[in-house]
Amino acid sequence: MKATLFLHPKVLIGAVDKRLYGGFIEHLGRAIYEGIYEPNHESADEQGFRQDVIELVKELDMPITRYPGGNFVSNYKWEDGVGPVAERPVRLDIAWKALEPNTLGTNEFMDWCKKANTEPMMAVNLGTRGAVEAQELVEYCNHPGGTFYSDLRRQHGWENPHDIKLWCLGNEVDGSWQMGHKTADEYGKLAREAAKLMKGIDPSIELIVCGSSFSSMPSFAEWEATVLEHTIDLVDYISIHTYYGNPEDETAGYLAKNDDMDRFIKGVVATVDYVAAKKKSDKKIMLSFDEWNVWFHKSPTDTNSPEWTAARDLLEDVYTMEDALLVGGMLITLLNNADRVKVACVAQTVNVLAPIMTRKGGGAWRQTIFYPFAYASKYGRGTALKLTSDCPTYDTTFKGKELKNIPTLSSAASFTENELVLFILNRDLKNAIELDVDLSGFKLKKIIEWVELRHDNLKAVNTEYEELIKPVQKLGACLKNSNLIASLEPASWNMLRISLV
């Protein structure tokens, strides 16, 4: 089977914001306790942070990390997590029916960020708390000193401000499952007042207002429109979340779900631009896709950990080769929308729906989805390019719905002054694709590398002791005149890097 791609250095999508490759650490399950923080582990540093985990996070090259939630934040009192650890209260976490010891809080997380080469993306509680508490947290974190909360931070041992630049105005407030759930009008008014107070403390911060939790929400689009009616002049981004799963083992349809992700993004863009036009504003609201991943292997009830205990083994999905292919496709979709999606966070980073897994007292390892993220994060920078493709299509079904004319190839490209990078997912489960890429607009030098991620068993997984799924260096791609020629194996995710003159 044959396919062609065409791209040109002057046909652009937009600049790729480095924050497109963010992570997420929530007070949920073993993400923090036994994840990034395990004082008795042999690799733990003086603050209790696992160094083996930090090295893997560095390998993922995550410029930002969202914290502390997630559903957790909607009933969180940030004051519980600062000050002398021995004096911090132990709380019941209603979101995940767990015990929160508050051993790790805001200041410790800021230290972890520095060690992991990431920057904090802080969420405030607009579920059970309000605008004033959000203002006070900004003062605690960002004001230099001379006020009650900034001096309190200094008394706690952090003399310099954390200077957090990116803030989330709550989490999934449209969801009935959320503590402090509100209507769009109620939330829009609250978010507006919180934004005014927070930017009153620090005008340099950027704010993310909550969009719909999922595209399937009954209020989708109407929610965004109403919330932005209240907040468009004060916020910079609107959030967007999605997860996909394949519980009925319909692989062909499952691997097409990143196309659904693309439709979701474009629907949100259309809505926010409508509000801007309606309000006669030239402001362009960008998107923060601050929760995305595969999630279906475990539900919150799939655990042996009793309720109201700390570090419960919640949502520890073990990812397959098939999942890695879709995650690679989702990264392609993010790149192809880089003009409007400026922030994105894979949910999450360690143990909970995560590319990194750990064992208490034991090792840390890379799940299958680790690799497409790591390669995209490292090389999918610069400027995203628009691709035109001509490839075979297929029809299939997914969860009872017919899917027609699905392109076998899903692809994205980015380039810098010296390098062009192609990311290509072959969704055909049986056939290799003979690929011909027209690069006549580029001054090509040579193929730097071709990395392929695939396995004959789409249900294969990685464990602490055996890494079945890992990228391999491929040979056989070549440059003929101004064209790139390669044969892509069935059910494979590929990255090709080409140096430019």
Instruction: For residue 134, name the pLDDT band (cuts at 50, 70, 90).
Output: very high
Average pLDDT over residues 427-437: 98
What SS3 state is found at 356?
A: strand
In this structure, the answer to whether residues 314 and 398 fall within a common structural domain is no
Please state the length of the chain.
Answer: 501
Return the pLDDT at 150: 98
My answer on whether 447 and 380 are in the same domain is: no
* Structure letter (DSSP) for residue 489: P
pLDDT range class, residue 83, cuts 50, 70, 90:
very high
Residue 89 per-residue DSSP state:
P
- CA-closest candidate to residue 44, choices 433, 53, 61, 293: 53
Q: Considering 384, 403, 419, which residue would you say is the last residue of a domain?
A: 384
Indicate whether 326 and 437 sit together in one domain: no
Q: If you average pLDDT over residues 34-54, what whole number do you get?
A: 98
Task: Name residue, tokens 């497409």.
Answer: 372
Name 100's bridge partners: 91
Closest CA to 220 of 268, 257, 180: 268
Q: What are 397-427's pLDDT values in tens digits?
A: 999 999 999 999 999 999 999 999 999 999 9
Question: What's the total number of domains in the chain?
Answer: 2
With contact defined as beta carbons under 8 Å apart, do 92 and 99 qualify?
Answer: yes
Q: Which amino acid is at 189?
A: K
Backbone angles phi, psi at 481, to 5 degrees: 60, -110
111 and 220 co-located in one domain: yes
Amino acid in the structure at residue 294: V
Percent of the residues in the chain that have a pLDDT greater than 70, as a whole number: 100
The reply to whether 346 and 483 lie within a common domain is no
Same domain for 222 and 314, yes or no, is: yes
Q: What percent of the chain has pLDDT over 90?
A: 99
Let me know: does 162 contact 105? Beta carbons within 8 Å. no
**Residue that has been written with the tokens 């997630």 in this structure:** 70
Find out whether 345 and 24 touch, Cβ atoms under 8 Å: yes
242 shares its domain with 288: yes
Domain termination residue (choose one: 356, 384, 412):
384
Which pair of structure tokens corresponds to residue 412?
């994205």
Distances in Å between the Cα of 346 and the Cα atoms of 65, 82, 290, 303, 482 are 9, 27, 7, 22, 36
| pLDDT level of residue 144 (50, 70, 90 thresholds) | very high
Domain match, 290 and 219 both: yes
Residue 473 maps to which CATH number? 2.60.40.1180
Question: Strand order of the sheet with strand 388-390?
Answer: 388-390, 2-6, 433-438, 483-488, 478-480
Q: Are residues 140 and 168 in the same domain?
A: yes
Token pair listed for 182: 């509100």
Question: Is 332 in the same domain as 478?
Answer: no
How many C-beta atoms lie closer than 10 Å to residue 311's C-beta? 20
Confidence of residue 31 (pLDDT cuts 50, 70, 90): very high
Mean pLDDT of 466-488: 97
- 316-344: average pLDDT: 98
Cα–Cα distances (Å) from 411 to 234, 331, 333, 368, in that order, read: 35, 10, 8, 20
Q: What are phi and psi of 155, to 5 degrees?
A: -65, -30
CATH number of the domain at 87, please: 3.20.20.80
- φ, ψ of residue 64 in degrees (nearest 5): -135, 160
Terminal Cα distance for the chain, rounded: 32
Comparing CA positions, the residue from 392, 384, 421 lying closest to residue 408 is 392
Mean pLDDT (whole number) for 250-268: 97
Q: Quick one: 86 and 124 in the same domain?
A: yes
Section 170-174 average pLDDT: 98
Quickly list DSSP for 20-57. Answer: GGBEE--SSTTSTBTTTB-TTSTTB-TTSBBHHHHHHH
Q: How far apart are CA 198 and CA 441, in angstroms?
A: 47
Catalytic residue among 34, 108, 119, 172: 172
The answer to whether 305 touches 312, Cβ cutoff 8 Å, is yes
Options 34, 133, 193, 291, the catalytic residue? 291
489 is catalytic: no
Q: Is 291 a catalytic residue?
A: yes
Closest CA to 320 of 355, 369, 285: 369
Closest C-alpha among 316, 333, 236 to residue 20: 333
In the prediction, which pLDDT does 44 show?
98
Which segments of 236-280 does DSSP mark as H helices, in order? Answer: 251-254, 257-278
| Structural domain containing residue 429 | 2-8+385-500
Confidence of residue 100 (pLDDT cuts 50, 70, 90): very high
Mean pLDDT of 489-493: 98
Last residue of a domain, one of 351, 384, 417: 384
pLDDT digit string (tens) for 268-311? 999 999 999 999 999 999 999 999 999 999 999 899 899 999 99
- Report the pLDDT averaged over residues 143-164: 98
Q: Are residues 130 and 279 in the same domain?
A: yes
Whether residue 75 contacts residue 94, with contact meaning beta carbons closer than 8 Å, is answered with yes
> What pairs with residue 394 in β-bridges?
406
